[in-house]
């Protein structure tokens, strides 16, 4: 399952979460506090959004969307 690390108020995080909702991608949300960031966020530069998918960490909303399109959307026949 994908884990989305995000701040409560973050338009880039909203964009990623809305994309996953629109495409019925199953995920779990971890709300990140600005003064208490988990290692997954710190190890990718300290900014959100970050997703963790099967141990792989991806940061930056545009890179996350590209990754999700390539790896989690059905390919047209």
Q: Rounded to two decimals, what is the model's pTM? A: 0.94
- Edge-to-edge strands, sheet with 27-31: 27-31, 2-6, 50-53, 56-59
Strand pairing report for 2-6 and 50-53: antiparallel
Q: Is the pLDDT of residue 50 over 70?
A: yes
Domain that holds residue 67: 2-72
pLDDT digits over 52-61, tens only? 999 999 999 9
Q: Which of 65, 57, 53, 61 is nearest to 40 (CA)?
A: 57
The total of structural domains in the chain comes to: 1
- Which CATH number goes with the domain that contains 51? 3.40.30.10
The DSSP symbol for 46 reads S
pLDDT at 74: 77
Which residues lie closer than 8 Å to 39 by C-beta, 6 or more apart? none
Q: Is residue 77 part of a domain?
A: no
């Amino acid at each position: 399952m994908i884990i989305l690390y995000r701040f409560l108020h973050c338009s880039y995080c909203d964009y990623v979460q809305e994309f996953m909702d629109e495409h019925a991608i199953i995920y779990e949300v971890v709300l990140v506090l600005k003064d208490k960031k988990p290692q997954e966020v710190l190890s990718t530069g300290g900014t959100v959004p970050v997703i963790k998918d099967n141990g792989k960490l991806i940061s930056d909303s545009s890179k996350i969307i590209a990754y999700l399109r390539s790896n989690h959307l059905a390919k047209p026949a």
